[in-house]
Chain A
Amino acid sequence: EEPSNDHDEL
């Protein structure tokens, strides 16, 4: 799985 920007973290 490609690691990506998690929009949940601030």
Chain B
Amino acid sequence: MNIFRLAGDLSHVVAVIILLLKIWKTRSCAGISGKSQLLFAIVYLTRYLDLFTTYVSLYNSIMKILFLSASGATLYFMYGKFRGTYDHNHDTFRIEFLLIPCGLLSLVINHEFTVMEILWTFSIYLESVAILPQLFMVSKTGEAESITSHYLFALGSYRALYLLNWIHRYIAESHYDLIAIFAGIVQTILYCDFFYLYITKVLKGKKLQLPA
């Protein structure tokens, strides 16, 4: 565990907490893509199956359980308790265009052709693109609430910090994982446009609004 990894994990935790609090406090999931949230739930489920097979540390297990539970709660809010506030009309990204290629790619490029490894690889590929329905929704409506942009910033920062973690681990331990690194780079690149808008607008107190 190095400082980048810890910062990345904390950023990830902050992101999921911001999202849950936003929905809970406003009693609304307006502006949030239920499709992205569904994809994240699939990501956590397929990656954290190793909770049952591999014990790493208490920290590791707690974090995995936290992400699974937060994701489950988010889905319950979006598709259950507050479903009336979910903005279906703007959440029109076709997730099969992400699920199918990620599934196929994980069958072809993986570390080992076993069920657990393929599911892990699938989750890494899927996570890298899971935010696309959310970004698509923001681009369709042309704006995002400030709280939603804080959520997106924290969520995007997490994988960017992991990139620093991987550089650190390569230097310090000669450990690297090309699948995770490649997907992490893709994931971070997808957020770049958003990061730019966040820094130039939201941090200056303006609403995140896309140019018409």
Contact = CB atoms under 8 A, between A and B. Distances in A.
Interface in A1-10: 1-10
Interface in B157-199: 162, 165, 174-180
A5 to B, nearest CB: 5
Contacts, number: 37
Contact of B60 (A1, A4, A10): A10
A7 B60 CA distance: 9
B56 A8 contact: yes
Contact of A4 (B12, B57, B67, B111): B111
| Interface SS, B side | helix
Interface size class of B (residues with CB under 8 A): 20 to 34
A5 B177 contact: yes
Given A3-B178, A4-B177, A9 B5 contact: yes
B64 interface: yes
Given A3-B175, A5-B177, 20 more contacts: A3-B178, A4-B111, A4-B112, A4-B177, A5-B111, A5-B117, A5-B120, A5-B179, A5-B180, A6-B175, A6-B177, A7-B54, A7-B56, A7-B60, A8-B56, A8-B57, A8-B60, A9-B162, A9-B180, A10-B67
Q: What 8 A-B pairs come out closest when comparing CB atoms?
A: A7-B54, A8-B56, A4-B111, A3-B177, A5-B120, A7-B56, A7-B50, A10-B63
